[in-house]
Structure 1
């Protein structure tokens, strides 16, 4: 299991992925993801607009970087993501979902926006 360090920033290690969505989509994306399998950790990061980071593992096969929908951002480790005053919506316990499952949940939610 991955250890996540958040002290002013989230440290993504090699092989980790975070998908950032507006918080207004977060609950529905997490619901869709939970329906498909493991939910994985979710970090809420305040700022001018509250955002949620869904932590995931990369797809098993290398794929070209997807073009994210508007308001969605993909972060690949290793890197640090600014996360001042963040809180865990879903604490980091258990398995990470594949990033493809997170993308699918986002696509499903966007159809209804």
Structure 2
């Protein structure tokens, strides 16, 4: 299991990945994920607009080409995600969902908006 440390930023190690969505979608995306399998850690990041950051497991195969919905951002390690004054919505405790499951949950939520 990964160790996640958050201060002014969340540090993503090589091979780590996160998906950032507007907080207004966050609860619905997490509900869809919970229905499909492991939820994984979620970090709420304040700012001009509150954002939720879903920590995910990258897929071993190359990602198929796709267009990101507006307001969605992928973060890939190694790198740092600005996370000042953030809080855990779901604390790290178990398995990470695959990035494909989060993409699918986002598509489902966007379809009904």
TM-score by length of 1: 0.97
Q: How many angstroms apart in 1 are the aligned matches of 2:109 and 2:24?
A: 11
Match of 1:18, SS?
A: strand
Between the two proteins, the alignment pairs up a number of residues equal to: 113
| Residues 3-82 of structure 1 aligned to structure 2 (within 5 Å) | 3-64=3-64, 66-82=66-82
Structure 2: gaps (5+ residues): none
Deviation at 1:16, TM superposition (A): 1.0
- Per-residue deviation, residues 58-81 of structure 1 (Å, max 9, x unmatched): 012122564210010001111000
CA 1:65–1:46 in structure 2 vs 1: closer, same or farther (change >3 Å)?
A: farther
Q: How many angstroms apart in 2 are the aligned matches of 1:67 and 1:11?
A: 26
User: What is the aligned partner in structure 1 of residue 104 from structure 2?
Assistant: 104
RMSD between superposed Cα atoms in Å: 0.9
Residue 93, structure 1, aligned to residue 87, structure 2: no
Deviation at 1:96, TM superposition (A): 0.3
Q: How many angstroms apart in 2 are the aligned matches of 1:76 and 1:21?
A: 15
